[in-house]
Structure 1
Amino acid sequence: MALPGRIDLNDLLVFEAVAEAGGFTAAAQRLGVATPKVSVEISRLESKLGVALFSRTTRTVAMTDAGQALYEECRPLLQGLTEAIERAAFDTKELAGTLRISSTADHVALTLAPAMAAFAQRHPHLVVDLRTTDRVVDLVEEGFDIAIRLGWLQDSSLHAVKLGEFDQYVVASPGYLRRIKHPETPKDLEDLDWVALTLLPTPFTWKFSSSSGQTATIHVKSRFRVDSARALRSVLEQHVGVSILDQFNAQDGINAKRLIRLLPKWSLPSAGVYAVYPPGRQVPAKVRSFIDFYQQYLKDLRAGPTSTLTRKN
């Protein structure tokens, strides 16, 4: 059996992208190239190897047994090579390649997008691919370097770094509050018109604590439900009812007096902002650098408008 000719490393990287993205078009989007280019490079690799790596139909692309075996053998080698290149780039402070990040649309719009813009300006050779979704993405299968997740993390095989914390506020609009008796305790919230955020695991049960050591658990009912924090904020500003918003989404409305914070002597558990990334022998330089940058960005944001970003990486 004749040995294959010289294999182009780029062809292997394209092969890896198709294998992980599950299709030529998705791989092309991930790599930032045209779909026909992906098809050409896969065909060239298959021709040199003398085997089919993917079975193709008009609707699906699936790895063959030979493709699966090649992927399992090559992936750790390609990952190690990519990490070595990125470490060399990091030593000169010149990040390169593509940084693919996923987070919720709300968090991207409020904080992550401006942070990414500032980070990209500092690293002009780095390509930034920022995706928004409210579902929990599979970082390995979908080819993401980092996901920014909010709340409380479940156990996972992924690595996670806590970047910061945020508070949760009970809020309502001035227009709604003019129609009701203002609540004085958490239990009073159960009698009000509640707007539920169904994105949460327990949107109808809330546990409060006071500075004096008291605790209270409430169970609310709701006939108005939304599935995003941005929609919740908009609904509350239309004088529909009362609810709980995270600090990021609530603060602008409170500052502009479109929303009023209720029960300030009672607090809800703080939640975290986490950078989650796939397991590996070495964290890529672009990932390390962005995690450090965004951690400081959130710290400065929480400190207030007088704070300035001073990090250089």
Structure 2
Amino acid sequence: MFNPDQIDLNALSIFEAVVDAGSFTAAANKLDVAKAKISINISRLEQQLSCTLFTRTTRKIVLTEAGRLLHEQCQPLLYGLREALTQAGSEQVSLGELTGVLRLSATVNQATQSLAQAVAQFAVLHPRLRIDLRTGDRISDLVADGIDLSFRMGWLRDSSQRAIKLGEFKQVMVAAPAYLKKHGKPTQLQDLRTHEWVALSLLPTPLTWKLTNIDGHVETIHMKSRIQVDAPNALLSLILHGAGVSVMDERTVQGVIDSGALVRLFPEWSLPVGGIYAVLPPGRLVPVKVRAFIDFYRDFI
């Protein structure tokens, strides 16, 4: 009869290392152990579980369905266990001083606007802490990439995510003067249907927008787009070069509007307000370094 108490947690860590590395040899190099030890531990784990975790060929290994399920369940638990040990050790040894590595991720736009400044000041306050800031407009896998904390703007599609709302941002509709001179400035919302629209594919509904006027009246417009882009910075560049009309967060474009390089359309109508979130990986434990940075970053929103 299967007894979970007989399972060695070290075997689960080795199993995770093999999945991440993609082979027994790479996992052995990563863990700095003999390849034979990797093979023995995986074989023993398969015997104890009475299932095959990997399909082995001469060139590669592939997770079986049982292996995939085990990895999905164990990965966040092992991550939380490591963080618990790290937190206990760092708090005990360093007497409250933050140490170790803090891995952050954010969009390029957010990192440029406020996060980089916050990281620079936070690093000065905690000289023994190493900070790894990773930027990109694609949503990363926090557990697989080893991210402690991710910052996202907009609307979270996955309601199961552990997220802390730090603030909000307004959106505005804009176009370049050259575009409006060529195509005419829309005077009614429904006129937008005949205009070129540049869509940001990161949004849940990039072609459908609800606007509210001062009286609370709501209008929904459905756009058509020949051009779409997956990064806010690229979207801004397209709009500036006259590609069409679009929506951006107010903080990003306000200076450009003030300079006259962009024109705000329909200022009497309000677009949906977006959120600024701190997103945490699965698990109950929030390390001290993560909580400290969240609290610190609130002042920069």
TM-score when normalising by structure 1:
0.73
Distance 2:93 2:277 in 1: 25
2:165 pairs with 1:162: yes
Residue 202 of structure 1 aligns with which residue?
205
Distance 2:188 2:204 in 1: 24
Q: Describe how 1:273-312 pairs up with structure 2 within 5 A.
A: 273-298=276-301
Residue 134 of structure 1 aligns with which residue?
137
**Residue pair 1:15, 1:42 contacting (<8 A) in 2 also:** no
2:85 pairs with 1:81: yes
**Residue pair 1:194, 1:221 contacting (<8 A) in 2 also:** yes
* Equivalences, count: 274
**Residue pair 1:229, 1:249 contacting (<8 A) in 2 also:** no
2:257 pairs with 1:254: yes
**Per the alignment, in what secondary structure is the counterpart of residue 140 of structure 1?**
coil
Amino acid at match of 2:181: R
Distance 2:30 2:282 in 1: 31
**CA deviation profile, 1:245-268 (whole Å, cap 9, x unmatched):** 122432232233211211111011
**Structure 2 CA distance for partners of 1:163 and 1:87, relative to 1, 3 Å:** farther
2:273 aligns with one of 261, 270, 273: 270
**Residue pair 2:196, 2:244 contacting (<8 A) in 1 also:** yes
Residue 17 of structure 2 aligns with which residue?
18
**Structure 2 CA distance for partners of 1:215 and 1:143, relative to 1, 3 Å:** same
**Per the alignment, in what secondary structure is the counterpart of residue 289 of structure 1?**
helix
1:125 aligns with one of 102, 107, 128: 128
TM-score when normalising by structure 2:
0.75
Unaligned runs of 5+ in 1: 1-10, 26-35, 299-313
Shift of 1:236: 1.0
Name the Cα RMSD after superposition.
3.6
**Structure 2 CA distance for partners of 1:118 and 1:185, relative to 1, 3 Å:** farther
2:33 aligns with one of 40, 43, 47: 43
**Structure 2 CA distance for partners of 1:141 and 1:16, relative to 1, 3 Å:** farther
Identity of aligned residues (%): 41
Distance 2:280 2:162 in 1: 5
Distance 1:151 1:38 in 2: 41
**Residue pair 2:207, 2:222 contacting (<8 A) in 1 also:** yes
Distance 2:35 2:99 in 1: 26
Shift of 1:148: 1.0
Unaligned runs of 5+ in 2: 1-9, 44-53
1:241 aligns with one of 244, 251, 268: 244
Distance 1:72 1:45 in 2: 22
Shift of 1:201: 2.1
Residue 148 of structure 1 aligns with which residue?
151
1:177 aligns with one of 158, 177, 180: 180
**Residue pair 2:151, 2:278 contacting (<8 A) in 1 also:** yes
